[in-house]
Structure 1
Amino acid sequence: MISEPLSFNVATIELLSLPEEVEGFSLDAPTANAQYNGHSLPIAGWASGRSPYVVPSIEIMNGETLLKRVPIQVPRPDVADYLKKAPGAGNKFGFHGFIGTLGLHNSTRLDIVLNIYDPRDQSRVKKNVATIRGKKNNSLLTESKYQPLMLTAIGRSGTTLVMQILGEHNKILTSNFYPYEVKQSAYWMHLLKVLNDPADFDNSSHPDKFESNLGLIGHNPYTHQESMRQFKEPDRFYDYYNKKLPRELVKFSVSRIEEFYDLIAASEKRPDAVYFAEKFLPTHLQPMFNDVFTKPKEIILTRDFRDMICSAQSFNEKRNSQAFGRERASDEFDWVHRIFSTGARRVVEAWEDRKYSAIHVRYEDLILEPEAQMKRIFEYLEIDSSTSLIHKIKEKIFNSSGSTHHKTSENPEKSIARWKNEMPKELLEYCNEKLSKELKTFGYE
């Protein structure tokens, strides 16, 4: 037998008070104080809306990340009897699905959220009804020629500046051209996640239909338990899909990343490089790098979220565009609520999950104390942080005019606390209320 590369220990399950729109809810799987071997965790149970409300699906959330939406469509005559439903009323109250455990947070909290629909006015609300807490166990760590250096931030935080700094060090490989958005490792790690996750006929590849889409590939539909049960020796196929194949997919993905950065190292003449650096939004990918690489590093970059809003507004005006999510918002307040508030929570979530292995860098400190912050970063990476090197990088990046394409203020110093002069009072008050926790977490007034 091959040892388990992944498993998940469920510690506790908390059922919350049901909202008035819900008649009943139960979570049958997983169960508390249990270990689930393999790369998937079952989520099963039932839910029923209180008339006239309907509950068509559940959502499984890992913090701010939607892991899966599972339709409520499994026949449950036992639930129909329990709820005393009239004959012919239908008995599809059940849900059953699996989530992949690769890439979950170190200490995982999963929230089960009901999607509730009111047919009278066609309105929809989401209500959290259960919380699962547990911890993943991982033995997929793989040796690699280069280690990832993840720059985690949201838009207008100063990522381009940090990537310029990193790109000047001969131990670090980057795409080395503006705007540093070539994310090869992110692509291969996302591929690893998709190919490794358990079968999902509703949201991903279906065994009868996957050949029809020439542009996409999803989860392997034949990893489904029902498929494996049809073989004469299902245990052999369980071992293959849950133990051997994940390791092979990891080696494949890491090898593709190495090959790409070998090309960068050769073209940039950096044979001694030890890191590759890429920009990342706070997503499921960073925990995956921690699941796979032996010595990953992460810089969590923040900027006063109010300055980011001002910067995004100026950038949109400068380019006559509606970027950074503004095109999806009805007004500035909705923009803050839907885009920046969510992004800020994701950054806080990333920091709280990985603060013991990552370094936090503030844009403001980098602008006002560039040499000290560069030294912090390079010492964290355990690479050359000599005064002469740092001075050379500072002279090249901070004392040159550089590209004006990405800038929205006269000089870097004036990009700090610009919200005090540029943000309307009503919007500022809304930001201070909406982003209070996030501003406080990272030390902003």
Structure 2
Amino acid sequence: MLSVNDSKLIFLISQPRSGSSLLQQLLLRSDRISSTPESWQMLQLVHTYKLSNNDGGYNAKQASINFNRYLNEADDGLKLFKEYIRKLGLSLYQDRTHQGNYFLDKTPRYYHIIEELNDLFPAAKFIFLVRNPLSVFASILDYNFKGDYKSFLSSEDRQNDLFLAPKKIGEAIHNNHTFVRYEDLISDPQKELKRLFDYLEIDMGDKDFSSYTIEGKFKDSNAIDSKSLKEHQSPVTNYLDSWKEVIDTVQKKRLAREYLQKLHKVDAYTNVYNIDDIIRTLDAHTHVKKSYFNLSFDYFTIPEKELSIPQLLKKRMYLKLGHKNRI
């Protein structure tokens, strides 16, 4: 008998590098919430039937098509299979929580399966965390790629983080899901957490939720932010403008600007951030090193086989001069 039901589930979803580890630790100050480092468990389970282009050593898209056909050969086959997935998911959550508590699944890349999570767990709570997209761009570039924008932008996975995540999360926000801005969270954590706990119907009591202590399984996990979370015990404003240290060349500034322009076109985070204002702030940032010549965003995101011969030659020349070109 399952003692956990979906009304006791909380999904915390965001772009990577948006502060989800911080928010998770602050929420865990409540003894009504249990959690673990990122589980990714529902991504694995949902993709047993969700159409996908992910390459797992076989044609994943064709596998999904054929598996769905197989399920639909039986009456309500897909519906029944989803119910099995739902029960398995709840069973796995139950093993990691206490009777009557919420379980918080903090996995940013659940942005891929927001609709499926809603379908499987209609009574679950969803919290979406958003952050200034310029800060996200710079943080991924710095933290995950050590400034190597060529590897960063050529990664399909990271392109999804940059574009698909804001689009999906923005749509969810418009569907009246609860969200919090990173900038508001670090400026007034007690106020923002009060709003979130009201949504969860949890009484904060007199406890101070503006600080945290990393304990147990989180300490050595690679699924939490080791850059800032372990250096502090409370939210700090140090990282609001940290993008200025990362965007330190003309090339990086151009790439960041074109990213924001492309993001603007897909209407991501409408009414959450003013992208035009962010671009103006970026334009005013002048502490950058000049470089001999710079390439546009598309040169790094479009596969080389799809570039024209002049574009390919230009990119090859750029990469050849990379050791001289200040990057």
The 5 Å alignment of 1:272-421 reads 272-281=100-109, 283-316=111-144, 322=145, 330=150, 334=153, 342-355=160-173, 356-386=175-205, 388-389=206-207, 391=208, 393-397=209-213, 406-407=226-227, 412-421=236-245
Quote the Cα distance in structure 1 between the aligned partners of 2:42 and 2:60.
28
For 1:168, what is the secondary structure of its paired residue?
coil
The 5 Å alignment of 1:3-402 reads 145-147=5-7, 148-175=9-36, 180-193=37-50, 203-205=61-63, 220=66, 223=69, 241=74, 243-265=75-97, 270-281=98-109, 283-316=111-144, 322=145, 330=150, 334=153, 342-355=160-173, 356-386=175-205, 388-389=206-207, 391=208, 393-397=209-213
CA contact (8 A) 1:170 1:272 kept: no
Between Structure 1 and Structure 2, the one with more helix by share is: 2
Quote the Cα distance in structure 2 between the aligned partners of 1:220 and 1:161.
41
Tell me the residue number matched to 2:321: none
Relative to structure 1, the CA distance from residue 422 to residue 219 in structure 2 (aligned partners, 3 Å threshold; closer, same or farther) is: closer
Q: TM-score, normalised by structure 1?
A: 0.47
Root-mean-square deviation (Å): 3.8
CA contact (8 A) 1:151 1:278 kept: yes
Quote the Cα distance in structure 2 between the aligned partners of 1:305 and 1:340.
13
Unpaired stretches in structure 2, ≥5 consecutive residues: 53-58, 279-327
Residue 204 of structure 1: CA displacement?
A: 2.9
- Give the count of matched residue pairs: 249
Tell me which of the two structures has the higher relative contact order, counting C-alpha pairs closer than 8 angstroms and 6 or more residues apart: 2
Question: Aligned partner of 2:197: which letter?
Answer: F
Tell me the residue number matched to 1:198: none
Question: Aligned partner of 2:96: which letter?
Answer: I
Unpaired stretches in structure 1, ≥5 consecutive residues: 1-142, 196-200, 206-217, 225-236, 317-321
Question: Aligned partner of 1:152: which letter?
Answer: I
Q: Which moved more, 1:307-316 or 1:350-359?
A: 307-316
Question: Aligned partner of 2:31: which letter?
Answer: N
Deviations 1:280-328 (A, max 9, x none): 3154411001112221222221222222343334435xxxxx48xx77x
Residue 375 of structure 1: CA displacement?
A: 1.1
Question: Aligned partner of 2:107: which letter?
Answer: K
CA contact (8 A) 1:149 1:275 kept: yes
CA contact (8 A) 1:150 1:286 kept: no
Question: Aligned partner of 1:362: which letter?
Answer: R
Quote the Cα distance in structure 2 between the aligned partners of 1:443 and 1:171.
32
Between Structure 1 and Structure 2, the one with more strand by share is: 1
Quote the Cα distance in structure 1 between the aligned partners of 2:89 and 2:60.
31
Question: Bigger radius of gyration, 1 or 2?
Answer: 1
Q: Percent identity?
A: 19
Residue 384 of structure 1: CA displacement?
A: 2.4
Quote the Cα distance in structure 1 between the aligned partners of 2:140 and 2:60.
37
